[in-house]
């Protein structure tokens, strides 16, 4: 504690015979008494050449004389502080050292103070009590406690022989086991002796089918099973084994699965209904509607697949389906909740790559949309040439757009189209029929077109 405040205790007073000068009692909280003690203690610390300063602990006695020049007779106790002698700190700013490490003392001082002449004089005697020496701890032997004994003690041999015989008899192991390393052994003196032993048992080359008990031919095998045993035995005063109780455990063989390969920074799939996809999908749809040449807005119907990759931000790859709505770009400024998908419009399959930087609150979408392959063409007679022209002319359009009339060019005037998926039997039957009608031309074109469209040729010319 800081010695800003000092407990002052006045226990008794000097007798009038200690000083020839007429004196009077001084109060414990008298500032002049404290000033006299401070002067005396400061002088004592100044006279020290090594060690730590002393700090005031308490004032024991105080008397004073009257007049302009005052005499103070004080007795006070001091304790060693944490501040070294010769430092720049006064004792009032120092902490006491711990009681177990601090010296203490008692001083008797005669202090003369003349404020008018600015004179002070100190005569004092201090008795210092050194720190008590450390107590050496000694441990007495615990009578009746367990005490360790050497693992190779002959006293353990009959106990272990008995214990291993019981182990081999009671366990269902196919081989006999022998005592291995003795890990720990202790003994307690009672009306006889209690033993506590920890040891290993090791599998030997002797099977129970061929050997009833251990023999000199039984040796521990390399790589054999090992169990850890704990045994407690009681031997009476006649040195007879009265009881042995043991418990043995084989180590559990743990099957550790190979570590799962984790590719840091690789794309990972995320659920299509994850709320994490809402912002990237909204930005992708806005990008498509801004870049599209269509007069109507498109809205998303469903997300079919999505992945996310952690980079300096996040990369989203989203596959989703959109459909034209009833909202015209000339009528409304942006897609809203009132815009409904037209049931007769053809869905588009879109793939978006969206780069999001959350801490910058920026998002960069790139979108490509094409007509879905599931929209199968069912053709009318005499249209192979037109179909071939349509397939070869289906070039990639501007990113995010599809030409409105790309499937209504002149060669398609002879086509009568109906949208529905064709069955495998229909494809097989119509393919054979058209091959008979059109020969080599159909056989050449069908392998090229079948992977893209399911065809049904209604009749041939």
Sheet holding 313-328, edge to edge: 268-269, 296-311, 313-328, 348-357, 362-371
In degrees and rounded to multiples of 5, residue 411 shows phi and psi of -60, -15
Average pLDDT over every residue of 281-294: 90
- Does pLDDT of 3 surpass 50? no
- The separation between CA 421 and the C-alpha centre of its own chain, rounded to angstroms, equals 55
User: Residue 316's pLDDT band (boundaries 50, 70, 90)?
Assistant: very high
| pLDDT at position 371 | 81
232: burial class by Cβ within 10 Å (0-12, 13-18, 19+)?
middle
Check residues 188 and 100 and name the one with the higher pLDDT.
Answer: 188
- Does pLDDT of 199 surpass 90? yes
User: Residue 183's pLDDT band (boundaries 50, 70, 90)?
Assistant: very high
Ranking 129-133, 169-173, 366-370 by mean pLDDT, the lowest is 129-133
User: Residue 338's pLDDT band (boundaries 50, 70, 90)?
Assistant: confident
- Highest mean pLDDT: which range of 103-117, 253-267, 311-325: 311-325
| pLDDT at position 174 | 92
Ranking 41-50, 172-181, 291-300, 405-414 by mean pLDDT, the lowest is 405-414
User: Residue 168's pLDDT band (boundaries 50, 70, 90)?
Assistant: very high
Q: How far apart are CA 129 and CA 288, in angstroms?
A: 93
Q: From residue 178, give the alpha-carbon distance in Å to each of 112, 150, 259, 413.
A: 93, 20, 38, 97
Query: Considering only CA atoms, which of 286, 254, 426, 266 is closest in space to residue 367?
Result: 286
User: Residue 137's pLDDT band (boundaries 50, 70, 90)?
Assistant: low
> Which residues, at least 6 apart from 90, have a Cβ–Cβ distance to it below 8 Å?
42
Average pLDDT over every residue of 36-47: 90
| pLDDT at position 31 | 85
Q: Which two tokens stand for residue 10?
A: 């006045």
Three-class secondary structure assignment of the chain: CCCCCCCCCCCCCCCHHHCCCCCEECCCCCHHHHHHHHHHHHHHHHHCCCCEEEEEEEEEEEEECCCCEEEEEEEEEEEEEEEECCCCCCHHHCCECCCCCCCEEEEEEEEEEECCCCEEEEEEEEEEECCCCCCCCCCCCCCCCCEECCCCCHHHHHHHHHHHHHHHHHCCCCEEEEEEEEEEEEEEEECEEEEEEEEEEEEEEEECCCCCCCCCCCCECCCCCEEEEEEEEEECCCCCEEEEEEEEECCCCCCCCCCCCCCCCCCEECCCCCHHHHHHHHHHHHHHHHHCCCCEEEEEEEEEEEEEEEECEEEEEEEEEEEEEEEECCCCCCCCCCCCECCCCCCEEEEEEEEEEHHHCEEEEEEEEEECCCCCCCCCCCCHHHHHHHHHCCCCCCCCCCCCCCCCCHHHHHCCCCCCCCCHHHHHHHHHHHHHHHCHHHHHHHHHHCCCCCCCCCCCC
- Do β-strands 348-357 and 192-207 pair in parallel, antiparallel, or remain unpaired? unpaired
| pLDDT at position 258 | 72
Question: What are the structural domains, with CATH classification, of the chain?
Answer: 16-129 (3.10.450.10), 147-249 (3.10.450.10), 268-371 (3.10.450.10), 384-449 (no CATH)
Ranking 27-31, 135-139, 321-325 by mean pLDDT, the lowest is 135-139
Ranking 29-38, 211-220, 335-344, 401-410 by mean pLDDT, the lowest is 401-410
Check residues 377 and 190 and name the one with the higher pLDDT.
Answer: 190
Average pLDDT over every residue of 16-35: 71
| pLDDT at position 102 | 87
In degrees and rounded to multiples of 5, residue 65 shows phi and psi of -105, 165
Average pLDDT over every residue of 33-41: 89
Q: Classify 223 in phi/psi space as left (phi over 0), alpha (psi -120 to 50) or beta.
A: left
| pLDDT at position 346 | 86
Average pLDDT over every residue of 329-354: 89
- Does pLDDT of 218 surpass 80? yes
Other Cβ atoms closer than 10 A to 383: 20
- Does pLDDT of 325 surpass 80? yes
- Does pLDDT of 271 surpass 90? yes
Q: How far apart are CA 138 and CA 123, in angstroms?
A: 47
Q: How far apart are CA 139 and CA 88, in angstroms?
A: 46
Q: Which two tokens stand for residue 147?
A: 């005490």
Q: Which two tokens stand for residue 450?
A: 């079948």
- Residue 316: beta bridge partners? 308, 354
Average pLDDT over every residue of 396-424: 41
% of the chain with per-residue pLDDT over 70:
72
| pLDDT at position 252 | 79
Looking at every residue in the chain, the average pLDDT score rounds to 77
User: Residue 395's pLDDT band (boundaries 50, 70, 90)?
Assistant: very low
- Highest mean pLDDT: which range of 128-137, 339-348, 395-404: 339-348
Query: Considering only CA atoms, which of 280, 304, 283, 288 is closest in space to residue 368?
Result: 288
Sheet holding 147-148, edge to edge: 147-148, 175-190, 192-207, 226-235, 241-249
């Amino acid at each position: 504690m800081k010695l800003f405040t000092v407990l002052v205790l006045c226990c008794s007073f000097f007798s009038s015979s200690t000083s020839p000068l007429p004196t009077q009692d001084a109060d414990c909280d008298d500032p002049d008494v404290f000033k006299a003690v401070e002067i005396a203690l400061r002088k004592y610390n100044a006279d020290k050449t090594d060690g730590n300063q002393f700090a005031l602990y308490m004032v024991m006695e105080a008397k004073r004389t009257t007049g302009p020049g005052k005499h103070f007779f004080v007795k006070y106790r001091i304790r060693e502080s944490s501040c070294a002698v010769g430092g720049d700190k006064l004792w009032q700013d120092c902490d006491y050292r711990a009681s177990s490490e601090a010296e203490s003392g008692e001083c008797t001082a005669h202090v003369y103070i003349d404020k008018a002449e600015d004179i002070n004089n100190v005569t004092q005697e201090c008795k210092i009590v050194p720190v008590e020496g450390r107590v050496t701890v000694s441990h007495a032997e615990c009578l009746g406690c367990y005490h360790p004994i050497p693992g190779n003690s002959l006293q353990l041999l009959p106990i272990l022989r008995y214990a291993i015989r019981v182990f081999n008899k009671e366990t269902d192991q196919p081989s006999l086991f022998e005592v291995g390393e003795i890990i720990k052994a202790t003994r307690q003196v009672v009306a006889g002796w209690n033993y506590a032993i920890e040891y290993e048992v090791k599998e030997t080359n002797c099977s129970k089918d061929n050997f009833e008990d251990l023999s000199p031919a039984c040796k521990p095998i390399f790589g054999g099973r090992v169990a850890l045993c704990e045994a407690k035995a009681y031997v009476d005063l006649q040195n007879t084994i009265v009881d042995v109780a043991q418990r043995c455990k084989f180590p559990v063989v743990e099957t550790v699965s190979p570590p799962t390969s984790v590719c840091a920074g690789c794309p990972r799939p995320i659920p299509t209904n994850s709320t994490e996809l809402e912002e990237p999908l909204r930005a992708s749809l806005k990008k498509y509607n801004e870049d599209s040449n269509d007069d109507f807005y498109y809205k998303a119907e469903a997300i079919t697949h999505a992945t996310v990759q952690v980079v300096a931000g996040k990369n989203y790859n989203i596959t989703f389906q959109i459909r034209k709505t009833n909202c015209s770009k000339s009528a409304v400024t942006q897609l809203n909740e009132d815009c409904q998908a037209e049931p007769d419009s053809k869905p588009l399959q879109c793939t978006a790559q969206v780069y999001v930087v959350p801490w910058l609150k920026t998002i960069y979408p790139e979108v490509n949309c094409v007509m879905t392959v599931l929209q199968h063409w069912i053709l009318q007679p005499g249209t192979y040439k037109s179909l071939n022209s349509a397939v070869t002319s289906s070039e990639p359009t501007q990113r995010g757009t599809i030409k409105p009339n790309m499937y209504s060019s002149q060669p398609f005037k002879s086509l009568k189209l109906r949208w529905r998926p064709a069955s495998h039997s229909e494809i097989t039957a119509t393919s054979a029929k058209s091959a008979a009608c059109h020969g080599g031309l159909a056989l050449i074109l069908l392998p090229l077109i079948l992977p893209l469209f399911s065809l049904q040729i209604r009749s041939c010319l």
